[in-house]
């Protein structure tokens, strides 16, 4: 390994999808220089092509785009597009990454993205971003919000279609001279300390499965194509149309597991997210057009993620999704109508035919041949039998020393897992390079703030088309014209996407040119985009709090799609109201909170230990609090795995590392009794066997775990032959082959008191527990009988292969219906399980020697106590609820508090490990900073108005208000006082205070009331 | 403690109660009493704070509520609890108001002995001052109550007509008249330890049965509840911006309804502040937009704002209506609104000091999203 002196404080992130973006942002915020390398002309990856995301139905582009812009603007992220890695040389801590940067032929600095070049370009090619459902020109932008926001010329074409013919029309029309047809490729040599590979995977191409008729029948499309059909910015502008006649299909079928769980294409793994995106696509299609009748052909519904079961349940109940359990045999086109006939076997084995107007193939992910040959081949990464890169299951993001991996390059998975692995990879890189942290970074320099006091308001109004999201319904030019007519409005303009990078430049320029001192953006919600526009104000030398947004999308165009005239009137009114307010905005100076650069980790299981190690390895002193006498948590109840983790060794080594680490303080048999303070500056009191310990820290990681649920049914606790999976595991770990006799029968029942009304969540791990223990039994004695009675077998990802192993070893998997649960009875002859077998359409009766119940995990009962102390939420099931299930999977909305492991939701060891590392990375983005900016829009008390009624104290969710007694003219007066560090600016106290004594910065009465006045 | 009785001497209830209060004051168990008593002109009855028993001449049944007694106690105890005990004679609505003020940290009940009086209802100030039935209003209402004279209903304020809770709750001691033969006796019901301590030295007789009282209370409550239900049903039609604008047409924006309200506790009302003052051009722009609008232009907003702020704690005392110089029948909107709002949160203002103000209570199922029900 490189010596301290020759380590490089920079990291190369290869791949600019959401995974690479997250890794880059985390590392840059932790104090490292980042080179983000992307093969295509813009970052964003697959997520930019998705319409909505499950299970929250958030618009994918809307939640992604702020991250894109953050990447573009981050002073410590350098973006290289059209760039492919050739070679990685050197050693951990000091690598040379050699890459080829292909010419873009457009100067990114000069291009204003005006689009004139595109208009004159005579060459048309299939638009691959739209999967060929529409065309694009040879000079093009990958998608409207693309980052970098510049055009690119396709000189190569796609084999069938030629690219640029050098007609030079674009050069002639480009006013800024950005086009250079002679640009040459460039060889890059980047000196970095670590590399993160996040190049992703590819959707399966179903052409090689002729029975599905893809590319043969017009109305058979893949799910990734259908995402574009759903998208408002897609080829059909969000109208659900089928390709053959551009008419709305009524009956749509989705076919699961296309290219997944399929031996014929050597993809004997599950792609993990197709079950959920299918449900999402069907739900969204139904939302677009209520007459659509969606049918899903499936094998198992793998809804193993957080709140996934609830989503599926709602999809069935509220949106009328029809689920048919069948692997379909063939799709045939009706040549006249272009409808499609699906032939399938139903539950009872009967052959059926059904006609659909459109068929969507839910394709899985794979590593395409090119990628296998190119990147993996060139860089010599080890791969598994499916072509994905291989890492140790107990060190999941480490590819080689100094080279880390994240995202679906590793295994097919959904966005949250990818994002967690991205942060985990960042944590590993940061630990490797802790000594050179901050050596290559610059601090963002903003111009000095202009003093606007005494200036008459000069408002600049930017009205967003948001593609057709707003522009399709609201007459945006009319709104701009109206805005110009308002008092104090000095400038107004319309933008295709106000959030795009080029518009930010326009805002900055407009502020300078027109001497603006208030900026109004009429677009979408401030929740996602406000920080972006605030930065633009800063760049122009304005205080960021002189910005105001009004939402003419969610609160106008989207809800009044059928009334464009009224929607336009309302948009005008909203603009007028906001102009009424914006005059009264005052600059706000952010208070600074010093950061105690230490961490507290609550819970000493594998997640807690991993988080503590990761934080300490990055150089942050950490206290680890565990309520039990020993470290290890639930891992103490795990004895073996099938995926190759040596539990004993992992536990022993991890505990040893934690205990020997010179900057980790371990408190076993201890608990957190009180917590004061706020992000950056917490004070904790820890009750230990040796008395009370006090610890000051800047962040908190919650890893308090979960435990196996003990059932109340199936004779558990009453009959000595009945066990839970983990009890069986303990027993099997002590078994010798002769302990299990020939013909001894084990029956495992899955989903016991789980995925029902009482515990309506899937515990994710129990199917694999069953598979693992079943394999173990068969290994001990192949002549033992093992039956697994299941509802949906959740062996997602590569776990599918162990399901296959179990079947090959003769384990019998029998599916039961949730409505007809197996029945267990005990009599003199022993235990008997009865279940209805849908394939055979009859009841089976199995005499049992050992009955095993898969009950899953349940959250700790004291989660709610911790939640209250930390002011963080738990979900309906009692698991901790993260800030955003997709993009902030380890953050709480309360800044400075993070979550990992089973207390977030049940998960496997490897998943807990990378989630814990992710939490450590996210925490380090705070700890790396000596000071934090406090929430600016906090509540302030007008002491002369305060009556001391204390209602505000009762309602404050952050305990940020207390009462103080003051002597005024000899009388004792009680008044409210806001703690500026604790206040999160939620405004509940302001709404509660009847006297107006409590006011919120940015939302004061004198600012809000003019808005009201403007409307009434 | 079982209820006690005071024997009425010479059929004069007021005098009998005065003697009881005098004895109480003389016993030293309270430093002073806050009681309704005639002012020197004899035309009006006001609460007086009295420590000299010789000057005590309380008129506890006088059918008049000139000002909120709860608010008076708030003013006395807000900065600091009284160190010496004060006995306060209150009607049920004022006890309820006091309980609300305590919840809002605007009053402190330490060393306050609440002496509640069964309420027979109150008249408007005008009716009271210019009473022309040839006897005092107190005599008139007591006779009406004993069914020995004409009904007093026509003089009652509308709030009192539909008051379903004339019996004090949360009083340490209650002076009871419902279900009691007032020619012979008055009930003294002691509900708290503090109350017991105050009267321990006084000679009181034991009561034989309270059944008659319970029956009478039930009857009066039923009667009034019925009236109130009809009232609410009738007045519910005053609904929506147009109807409310018309209802408040006579409002002169004096804010007196806020000044006299026992619950309104802000130091300075938002609507008295300069928040709504603005430069002329804004008014002109609005005039441009609307063609014309009434000035002052914030009176409806004031009423809705006031309602929004205190409707959950509204104890329906009707002081706002009594204080309105334009005679706007405010109870016509406040009682139906209070009924709706309090029902929605299952909240009973003034009933239980432990019941939290809905504003500070979080319930997962309150105010479901439209369509969730």
pLDDT in tens, B142-171: 999 998 878 899 999 999 999 999 999 999
Euclidean distance between CA atoms A768 and A40, whole angstroms: 38
Task: Report residue B272 as tokens.
Answer: 């008295």
Lowest-pLDDT range, A676-680, A969-973, B62-66, B197-201?
A969-973
- Decide if A1013 and B278 are in contact by the 8 Å CB cutoff: yes
Chain A: residue nearest B106 by CA?
A949
Distance (Å) from the alpha carbon of A992 to chain B's nearest alpha carbon: 7
B153-158: long-range pairs with CB below 8 Å, 24+ = B155/B63, B155/B123, B155/B124, B155/B127, B156/B63, B156/B121, B156/B122, B156/B123, B157/B121, B157/B122, B157/B123, B157/B124, B157/B318, B157/B321, B157/B322, B158/B231, B158/B318, B158/B321, B158/B329, B158/B331, B158/B332
Q: Residue B53 falls within a domain, yes or no?
A: yes
Q: Same structural domain for residues B201 and B239?
A: no
Of B214, B244, B273, the residue at which a domain comes to its end is: B214
Chain B residues inside the 8 Å CB shell of A579: none
- A603 confidence band (pLDDT: 50, 70, 90): very high
Q: Residue B223 falls within a domain, yes or no?
A: no
The answer to whether the peptide bond before residue A55 is cis (omega within 30 degrees of 0) is yes
Q: Residue B228 falls within a domain, yes or no?
A: no
Euclidean distance between CA atoms B351 and B348, whole angstroms: 6
Say what the pLDDT of residue A808 is.
97
Q: Same structural domain for residues B139 and B257?
A: no
Q: Same structural domain for residues B31 and B151?
A: yes
Distance (Å) from the alpha carbon of B249 to chain A's nearest alpha carbon: 17
Distance (Å) from the alpha carbon of B272 to chain A's nearest alpha carbon: 11
Chain B residues inside the 8 Å CB shell of A1009: 275-276
The full DSSP string for A729-758 is HHHHHH--GGGS-TT-EEEEESSTT-SSSS
Say what the pLDDT of residue B295 is.
87
pTM over 0.95: no
Average pLDDT over every residue of A337-356 = 91
Go through the domains of chain A in sequence order and give each one's CATH number: 4-201+367-436 (3.50.50.60), 203-366 (3.50.50.60), 459-582 (3.40.50), 594-703+863-932 (3.50.50.60), 708-858 (3.50.50.60), 939-1000 (3.30.70.20)
Q: Which residues make beta-bridge pairs with A194?
A: A11
Q: Residue B167 falls within a domain, yes or no?
A: yes
Q: Same structural domain for residues B63 and B178?
A: yes
Local structure of B221: helix, strand or coil: helix
Interface test with B, best of A871, A961, A963, A995 (most B CBs within 10 A): A995
The answer to whether the peptide bond before residue B96 is cis (omega within 30 degrees of 0) is no
Residue B305, H or E segment? helix B299-310
- Largest interatomic CA distance in chain A: 94
Selection from A639, A833, A569, A583 nearest residue A721 by Cα: A833
Of B185, B214, B243, the residue at which a domain comes to its end is: B214
Alpha helices in B236-297 (DSSP H): 240-247, 256-260, 280-290
Chain B residues inside the 8 Å CB shell of A948: 105-106
Q: Residue B121 falls within a domain, yes or no?
A: yes
Euclidean distance between CA atoms B46 and A29, whole angstroms: 70
Euclidean distance between CA atoms A658 and A661, whole angstroms: 5
Q: Same structural domain for residues B286 and B241?
A: yes
Average pLDDT over every residue of A740-759 = 95
Q: Same structural domain for residues B179 and B262?
A: no
- Decide if B286 and A1013 are in contact by the 8 Å CB cutoff: yes
- Decide if B267 and A955 are in contact by the 8 Å CB cutoff: no
* Residue B370 pLDDT exceeds 70: no
Question: Would you call B281 an interface residue with chain A, using a CB distance cutoff of 8 Å?
Answer: yes
Local structure of A20: helix, strand or coil: helix
Euclidean distance between CA atoms A718 and A710, whole angstroms: 12
Q: Residue A246, class by beta-carbon neighbours within 10 Å (0-12 exposed, 13-18 middle, 19+ buried)? A: exposed
- B364 confidence band (pLDDT: 50, 70, 90): low
Question: Would you call B79 an interface residue with chain A, using a CB distance cutoff of 8 Å?
Answer: yes
pLDDT tens digit string along B255-270? 999 999 999 999 999 8
Local structure of B174: helix, strand or coil: strand
Interface test with A, best of B300, B360, B362, B370 (most A CBs within 10 A): B360
Residue A136, H or E segment? strand A135-137
A949 closest CB neighbour out of B265, B270, B282: B265
Q: Residue B372 falls within a domain, yes or no?
A: no
Average pLDDT over every residue of A906-921 = 97
Say what the pLDDT of residue A558 is.
84
Q: Same structural domain for residues B81 and B180?
A: yes
Lowest-pLDDT range, A94-103, A925-934, A964-973?
A964-973
Lowest-pLDDT range, A19-33, A80-94, A729-743, A962-976?
A962-976
Q: Same structural domain for residues B29 and B146?
A: yes
Say what the pLDDT of residue A958 is.
82
Q: Residue B367 falls within a domain, yes or no?
A: no
- A602 confidence band (pLDDT: 50, 70, 90): very high
Task: Report residue A1013 as tokens.
Answer: 């006045």
- B201 confidence band (pLDDT: 50, 70, 90): confident
Residue B26 CA to its chain's centroid (Å): 28
Average pLDDT over every residue of A922-942 = 93
Q: Residue B153 falls within a domain, yes or no?
A: yes
Say what the pLDDT of residue A766 is.
96
Average pLDDT over every residue of B234-250 = 91
Q: Same structural domain for residues B149 and B10?
A: yes
The number of domains in chain B is: 2
Q: Same structural domain for residues B155 and B205?
A: yes
Backbone phi, psi, residue A986, to 5°: -75, -25
* Rg of chain A, C-alpha, whole Å: 30
- Decide if B270 and A1013 are in contact by the 8 Å CB cutoff: no
Domain that holds residue B101: 4-214
pLDDT, averaged across chain A? 93
Q: Same structural domain for residues B238 and B206?
A: no
Of B179, B214, B249, the residue at which a domain comes to its end is: B214
Distance (Å) from the alpha carbon of A454 to chain B's nearest alpha carbon: 17
* Residue B106 pLDDT exceeds 60: yes
Higher pLDDT pick, A610 / B1: A610
Chain A: residue nearest B290 by CA?
A1016
Average pLDDT over every residue of A663-679 = 95
Q: Same structural domain for residues B190 and B276?
A: no
């Amino acid at each position: 390994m490189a010596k301290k002196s020759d380590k490089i404080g920079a990291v190369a992130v290869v791949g600019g999808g959401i995974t690479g973006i997250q890794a880059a942002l985390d590392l840059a915020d932790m104090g490292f220089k980042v080179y983000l390398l992307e093969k295509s002309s813009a970052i964003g990856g697959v997520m930019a092509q998705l319409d909505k995301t499950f299970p929250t139905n958030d618009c994918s582009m809307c939640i992604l785009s702020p991250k894109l812009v953050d990447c573009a603007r981050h002073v410590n992220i350098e973006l290289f597009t059209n760039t492919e890695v050739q070679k990685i040389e050197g050693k951990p801590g000091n690598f040379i990454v050699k890459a080829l940067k292909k010419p873009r032929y457009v100067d990114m600095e000069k291009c204003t993205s005006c689009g004139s070049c595109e208009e004159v370009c005579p060459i048309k090619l299939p638009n691959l971003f739209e999967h060929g459902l529409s065309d694009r020109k040879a000079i093009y932008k990958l998608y409207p919000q693309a980052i970098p926001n510049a055009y690119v010329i396709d000189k190569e074409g796609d084999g069938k279609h030629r690219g640029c013919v050098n007609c030079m029309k674009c050069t002639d029309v480009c006013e800024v001279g950005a086009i250079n047809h002679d640009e040459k490729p460039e060889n890059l040599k980047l000196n970095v300390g670590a590399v993160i590979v996040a190049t992703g995977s590819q959707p399966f191409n179903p052409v090689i499965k002729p029975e599905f008729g893809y590319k043969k029948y017009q109305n058979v499309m893949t799910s990734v194509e259908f995402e574009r059909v759903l998208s408002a910015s897609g080829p059909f502008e969000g109208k659900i149309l089928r390709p053959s006649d551009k008419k709305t299909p009524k009956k749509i079928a989705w076919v699961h597991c296309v290219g997944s769980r399929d031996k014929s294409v050597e993809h004997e793994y599950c792609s993990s997210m197709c079950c959920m995106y299918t449900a999402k696509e069907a739900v969204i299609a139904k939302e677009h057009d209520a007459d659509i009748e969606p049918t899903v052909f499936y094998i198992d519904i793998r809804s193993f993620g957080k709140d996934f079961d609830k989503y599926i349940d709602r999809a069935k109940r509220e949106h009328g999704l029809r689920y048919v359990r069948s692997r379909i045999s063939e799709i045939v086109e009706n040549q006249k109508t272009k409808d499609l006939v699906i032939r399938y076997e139903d539950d009872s084995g009967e052959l059926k035919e059904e006609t659909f107007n459109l068929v969507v193939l839910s394709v899985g992910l794979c590593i395409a041949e090119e990628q296998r040959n190119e990147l993996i081949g060139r860089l010599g990464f080890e791969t598994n039998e499916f072509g994905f890169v291989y890492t140790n299951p107990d060190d999941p993001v480490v590819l080689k020393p100094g080279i880390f991996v994240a995202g679906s390059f590793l295994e097919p998975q959904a966005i949250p897992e990818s994002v967690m692995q991205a942060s985990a990879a960042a944590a590993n890189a940061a630990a490797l390079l802790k000594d050179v942290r901050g050596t290559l970074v610059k601090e963002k320099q903003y111009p000095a703030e202009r003093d606007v006091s005494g200036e008459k308001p000069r408002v600049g109004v930017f009205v967003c088309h948001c593609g057709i999201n707003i522009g399709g319904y609201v007459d945006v030019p009319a709104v701009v014209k109206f805005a110009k007519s308002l008092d104090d409005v000095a400038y107004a303009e319309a933008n295709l996407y106000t959030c795009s990078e080029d518009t930010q430049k326009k805002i900055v320029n407009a502020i300078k040119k027109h001497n603006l001192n208030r900026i109004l953006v009429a677009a979408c919600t401030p929740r996602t985009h406000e920080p972006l526009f605030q930065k633009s104000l800063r760049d122009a030398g304005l205080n960021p709090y002189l910005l105001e947004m009004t939402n003419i999308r969610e609160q106008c165009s989207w809800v009044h799609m059928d009334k464009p005239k009224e929607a336009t009137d309302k948009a005008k009114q909203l603009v007028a109201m906001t102009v009424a307010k914006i005059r009264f905005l005052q600059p706000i100076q952010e208070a600074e909170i010093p950061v105690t650069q230490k961490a507290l980790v609550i819970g000493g299981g594998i997640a807690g230990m991993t988080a503590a190690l990761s934080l300490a390895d990055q150089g942050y002193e950490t206290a680890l609090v565990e309520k039990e006498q020993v470290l290890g948590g639930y891992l103490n109840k795990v004895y073996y795995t099938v995926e190759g983790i040596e539990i004993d060794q992992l536990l022993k080594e991890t505990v040893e590392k934690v205990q020997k680490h010179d900057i980790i303080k371990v408190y076993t048999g201890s608990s957190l009794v009180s917590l004061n303070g706020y992000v950056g500056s917490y004070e904790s009191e820890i009750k230990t066997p040796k008395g009370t310990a006090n610890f000051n820290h800047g962040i908190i990681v919650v890893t308090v775990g979960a435990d196996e649920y003990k059932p109340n049914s199936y004779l558990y606790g009453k009959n000595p032959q009945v066990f839970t999976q983990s009890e069986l595991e303990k027993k099997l770990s002590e078994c010798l082959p002769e302990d299990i006799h020939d013909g001894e029968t084990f029956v495992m029942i899955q989903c016991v008191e789980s995925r029902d009304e009482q515990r309506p969540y899937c515990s994710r791990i129990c199917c694999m527990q069953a598979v693992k223990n079943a394999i173990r039994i068969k290994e001990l004695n192949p002549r033992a009988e093992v039956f697994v009675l299941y509802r949906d077998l959740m062996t997602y990802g590569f776990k599918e292969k162990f399901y296959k192993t179990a079947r090959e070893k003769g384990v019998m998997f029998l599916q039961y219906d949730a409505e007809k649960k197996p029945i267990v009875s005990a009599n003199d002859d022993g235990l008997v399980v009865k279940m209805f077998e849908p394939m055979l359409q009859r009841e089976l009766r199995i005499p049992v020697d050992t009955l095993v119940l898969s009950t899953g995990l349940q959250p700790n009962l004291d989660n709610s106590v911790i939640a209250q102390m930390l002011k963080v939420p738990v979900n309906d099931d009692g698991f901790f609820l993260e800030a955003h299930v997709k993009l902030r999977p380890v953050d709480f909305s309360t800044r400075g508090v993070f979550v990992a492991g089973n207390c977030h939701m049940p998960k496997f060891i490897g998943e807990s490990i990378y989630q814990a590392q992710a939490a450590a990375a996210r925490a380090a983005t705070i700890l790396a900073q000596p000071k934090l900016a406090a929430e600016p829009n906090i509540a302030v008390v007008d002491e002369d108005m305060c009556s001391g009624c204390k209602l505000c104290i009762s309602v404050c969710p952050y305990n940020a208000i207390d009462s103080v007694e003051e002597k005024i003219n000899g009388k004792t007066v009680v008044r409210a006082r806001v703690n500026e560090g604790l206040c999160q600016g939620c405004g509940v106290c302001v709404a509660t205070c009847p006297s107006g004594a409590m006011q919120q910065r940015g939302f004061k009465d004198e600012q809000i009331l003019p808005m009201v006045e403007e409307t009434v | 403690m079982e209820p006690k009785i005071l024997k009425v001497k010479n059929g004069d209830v007021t005098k009998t109660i005065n003697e009881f209060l005098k004895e109480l004051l003389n016993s030293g168990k309270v430093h002073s009493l806050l009681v309704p008593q005639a002012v020197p002109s004899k035309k009006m009855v006001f609460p007086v704070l009295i420590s000299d028993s010789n000057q005590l001449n309380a008129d506890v049944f006088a059918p008049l509520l000139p000002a909120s007694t709860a608010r008076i106690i708030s003013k006395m105890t807000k900065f600091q609890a009284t160190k010496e005990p004060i006995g306060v004679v209150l009607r049920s609505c004022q006890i309820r108001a006091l309980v609300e003020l305590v919840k809002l940290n605007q009053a402190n009940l330490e060393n306050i002995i609440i002496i509640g009086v069964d309420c027979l209802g109150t008249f408007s100030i005008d009716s009271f001052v210019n009473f022309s039935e040839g006897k005092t209003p107190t005599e008139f209402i007591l006779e009406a109550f004993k069914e020995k004279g004409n009904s007093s209903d026509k003089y009652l304020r509308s709030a009192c007509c539909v008051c379903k809770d004339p019996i004090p709750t949360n009083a340490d001691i209650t002076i009871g008249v419902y279900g009691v033969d007032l020619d012979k006796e008055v009930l003294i019901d002691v509900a708290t330890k503090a109350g017991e301590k105050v009267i321990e030295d006084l000679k009181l007789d034991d009561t034989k049965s309270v059944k008659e009282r319970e029956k009478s209370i039930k009857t009066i409550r039923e009667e009034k509840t019925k009236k109130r239900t009809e009232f609410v049903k009738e007045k519910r039609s005053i609904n929506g911006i147009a109807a409310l604008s018309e209802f408040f047409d006579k409002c002169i924006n004096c804010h007196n309804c806020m000044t006299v309200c026992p619950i309104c506790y802000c130091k300075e009302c938002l609507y008295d502040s300069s928040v709504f003052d603005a430069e002329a051009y804004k008014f002109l722009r609005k005039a441009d937009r609307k063609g014309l609008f009434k000035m002052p232009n914030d009176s409806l907003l004031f009423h809705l704002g006031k309602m929004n702020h205190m409707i959950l704690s509204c104890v329906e005392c009707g002081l706002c209506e009594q204080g309105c110089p334009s005679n706007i029948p405010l109870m016509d909107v406040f009682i139906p609104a209070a009924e709706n709002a309090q029902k929605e949160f299952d909240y009973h203002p003034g009933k239980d000091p432990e019941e939290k103000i809905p504003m500070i209570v979080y319930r997962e199922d309150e105010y479901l999203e439209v369509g969730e029900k």
